[in-house]
Amino acid sequence: MPFPYSKSLKKFAFLSVFVALCITLGVGFAPEPSAMASTVSSAAPNQGRVILRGRSDVPKIAFTFDDGPHPINTPKILAILRQYHVPATFFTEGRYVQQYPWFVKQELAAGHIVGNHTWDHPELPTLSPQQQTQEIASTSAMMRQMTGVTPPFLRPPYGELDEPVKQEIVANHLSTVLWDIDPRDWSCPGIESIINTVLSNAHHGAIVLMHDGGGDRSQTVAALPEIIQGLRQRGYTLVTISPLLR
């Protein structure tokens, strides 16, 4: 009668030789999933992900600006980002891309990422599938028409998602970007409040939600330089969404 574990031992011996050979030849192995696996899908490279934050092991933070472009706020924010050499991610509405395409072109020319924030900021889960498609696809199409660039990311208005919306986003070849620091600058809580909320909640891989459209953003504009300097003093590097994930 054969030894009952002979097949297992042979398999183990084969695997041992294989591993040793790979190490000798310098062949790498895929690492175990990191802590970010719970918030970032393994879909390659980004498509289908629902991104709440970036990697927790590197001191990087991403600024994101929603609801633009805006003829007053956007150029002021772009000037500050240029002054401090800070890249950012802008989530734009299709109707404003159509109206102010030159600001989107300036964002792209400066090295910022421009994403899709739907055509006119509806609550996506309340729409029919056809309306969801129209909101998302028409914005991406307008960006391509005006800039030649297809947005890689989408931020759903109000952060509202359900399974049909997620499927629609994936069908449009986009990844979803949410956030985990919200100074509620849209409510004009005061310059110091915006600054303190961002700085006191800063952490590795954070995504900061701010706005360059949707109303008076003078408080956001005034708070931005101090936020930038405060984060850098704490050792953070400011990046767009893409390098936040690497």
Q: What residues act catalytically?
A: 66, 211
**Look-up: residue for tokens 């072109």?**
105
Length of the chain: 246
Contacts of 30 (CB under 8 A, 6+ apart): none
Radius of gyration of the chain (CA): 22
User: Token match 């498609």: residue?
Assistant: 133
Which neighbouring-strand residues pair with 63? 208
Q: How far is CA 76 from CA 96, 177, 180, 202, 211, in A?
A: 17, 24, 24, 24, 12
Q: Give how far the C-alpha of residue 23 lies from the chain's centroid of Cα atoms, to the nearest Å.
A: 36
| Token pair belonging to 200 | 């006191």
Helix (H) or strand (E) holding 10: helix 6-25
For residue 231, count CB atoms less than 10 angstroms from its CB and return exposed for 0-12, middle for 13-18, buried for 19 or more: buried
Query: What is the signed CA dihedral for 26, 16, 29, 204, rounded to 10 degrees?
Result: -110
